[in-house]
Amino acid sequence: MEKLTLLEQDLINSVCHFHAKFKNVAPQDIEVELMYDDLAGYSAEAFYNGQLDVYNSVNFITAIRLYIDEQLGRDSMSARITLDIHDEEGMVAYIEF
């Protein structure tokens, strides 16, 4: 089983890519904040042109899957994705294929 780790910047890029694709804007124009809450779990906020969109855990994982498919050229449907908070790296995603 192959393992891959996406670091915090990769996760931010995945939300930017996802948000840009569905809002028809440039990924570099989007600001993203990653969050974790004991009750809500992992989430992300995307800011563009004064608008805020919140991505809950399911949508956040969907954004990561799109990133895996389109940016890494891998099959995300066969991937097991686990999000975690790393002391030094911040939020990370552990992916097993």
Longest dimension (CA), the chain: 43
Domain borders along the chain are 7-75
Copy the structure tokens of residue 80.
């097991």
Taking the C-alpha atoms of residue 44 and residue 55, their distance in angstroms, rounded to an integer, is 5
pLDDT 10s digit of each residue in the chain, 97 long?
Answer: 899 999 999 999 999 999 999 999 999 999 999 999 999 899 999 999 999 999 999 999 999 999 999 999 999 999 999 999 999 999 999 999 9
